[in-house]
Structure formats: structure tokens, C-alpha cells
Structure 1
Amino acid sequence: MGADGVQELTIQVSDDYVFTPATVTVATGPVRLTVQSVADELTHGFRFTPGGNPQDITEEISVIGPGRSETVEFEVDEAGDYLFDCSFHIGMGQTGVMTVAAD
């Protein structure tokens, strides 16, 4: 939790087509998500998989270059599982789940 009361998460991406961690849990409310690339070569993206999530989260990171970090902020009001993926490598299985627990 940040000093401003916003939940903070960090997810890493690398050259092996996975998110670390691939599963995260937050409560309803504001979230600040940082995606940190520890990749040497690959460029990644981050988005909540369109369609099928309890609530649409449209904030995304289009490009994260090797060694870079990008942050998005959003609010989740509905509990449930939210699928996310790398828009470049979804076909390689680079996906994850953010579980939102009701307060």
C-alpha cells in the first residue's frame, strides 16, 4: 500500500515469456501497477485481456523495452478474476490473473 492509500503491485517480465508473479491479489479500490522488464532482448506489452473480465480495465502499457518499467493506475470495483496478457506474446502463453477480493 502506498502512502496515498493506493494498492501497489509490481510484476516482472523477462525473456522467457512469463509474468512474475503470474497471479496477484488485490482488494477492490485504486491500484497502481508497475510492470518492470528484466529482459535483455524482448519487448513486452501489458493489458487486461479484452472481454470476459468482471469489469473492463482499459489502462494498458503498449510497449515496455528491455530494462524499463512502466506504471498504470486504475480502479476496480467488481470482485473476481481478471485475465491479463502480453499483447506481443499471448500466443506464447504469456498470461496471468489478477484476483480482486471483495472488501
Structure 2
Amino acid sequence: MPRRAESTSRRRRGWVGALALPFLLTGCGSWGAEGGPGSHMSEAEATAAASEGVAALGADGVQRIVLRVDDKLRFSPSVIRARTGPLVITLADTGITPHQMILPGGAPVAPSEGGTSQDIKLSFGKAGSYTFNCMYHVGSGMAGTIEITE
């Protein structure tokens, strides 16, 4: 008799685990239509969404560019081209989904909220390719690159 009870208990745990699995896999599926970790872009969509922007050199010798984030979980532009030296990125959140940009080297920027913007001051001493991403949505492919030339 004890074996039968053990078998039933195992079966019950198996069903509970099977029923809980979809909820565990969806994670932040409650984001809904505005995007979030449950709204992954296909590789073709991510490639099509990739865009380039060139930082403009100001009279003060500082390069500047506006980097938009939105509810489609992408950076626009996703590739920033600049030269060595100071660079100011204005991070503009044009949607309602919150984002938190992680800079090259892993330093986080204050989380953004829809309709707000913030200036991020960087300086690059050598040429190279530097990646950045959104801490909340990196699993959905929300990442970009800063390409620095001399």
C-alpha cells in the first residue's frame, strides 16, 4: 500500500509541475501589447530594425547623438558611429515600457520611463566596437553597438 500512495503523490507532483511550467516560462508575459520579455522579435525583424546613426560633432568638440528606446524593444539607432573622445548620448524613451541601459563595461544607467530623456556622458580613448543593451530586455535582443574610429 505505501507504494501506491507514493506513486499517486509523484503523479500529482508531475501534474502540478506540468501545469506550472507555462507560467514559469512566460516570465513577464504580463507586459502585454506594449512589449516586454515575452515579445521576442524574429531574427529577420531584428535585422530589419537595425539602424545606424552618426554622432554629430559640436562646436565644443563633444559628439552628440539621440538614442531612442520604445515599446518594440529596440534601440534606434542600434549602431552608433563616433570618433575617439567625448560622446553624449541622449537616451529618449518614446514608449511606455521601462528600460535600463547597460553601458559598455557593464555600468548601468538610471532606468528610463516613457516620455523622458537623459544625457549619458561617455569618453572613448581608443577605436573599437563597444556593445550596450537593455538589462530588462536583453533576452529579447534589445542590444546595440558603439563603433569608435580614430
Question: Shorter-chain TM-score: which interval?
Answer: 0.7 to 0.9
> 1:81 touches 1:99 (CA, 8 Å); kept in 2?
yes
Which segments of structure 1 move beyond 4 Å, counting only runs of 4 or more? Answer: none
Q: Percent identity?
A: 29
1:54 alignment partner in structure 2: none
CA contact (8 A) 1:61 1:70 kept: no
Max radius of gyration: which structure?
Answer: 2
Instruction: Give TM-score, length-normalised by structure 2.
Output: 0.59
Higher relative contact order (CA 8 A, sep 6+): 1
Instruction: Determine if the alignment matches structure 1 residue 24 to structure 2 residue 80.
Output: yes
Distance 2:102 2:59 in 1: 26
- For structure 2, list consecutive stretches of 5 or more residues without a partner in the other structure: 1-56
Matching residue's letter, 1:98: I
2:109 corresponding residue in structure 1: 61
The one of 120, 138, 142 equivalent to 1:94 is 142
Query: CA, structure 1 residues 87+49, in 2 after alignment: closer, same or farther (shift >3 Å)?
Result: farther
Q: Does 1:42 align with 2:97?
A: yes
| TM-score, scaled relative to structure 1 | 0.84
Task: Tell me the residue number matched to 2:17.
Answer: none
Secondary structure class of the residue paired with 1:99: strand
User: How far, CA to CA, are the matches of 2:73 and 2:84 in structure 1?
Assistant: 28
For the aligned residue pairs, the C-alpha RMSD in angstroms reads 1.4
Residue 89 of structure 2: aligned partner: 33
Q: Which residue in 2 is equivalent to 1:7?
A: 63
Higher share in strand? 1
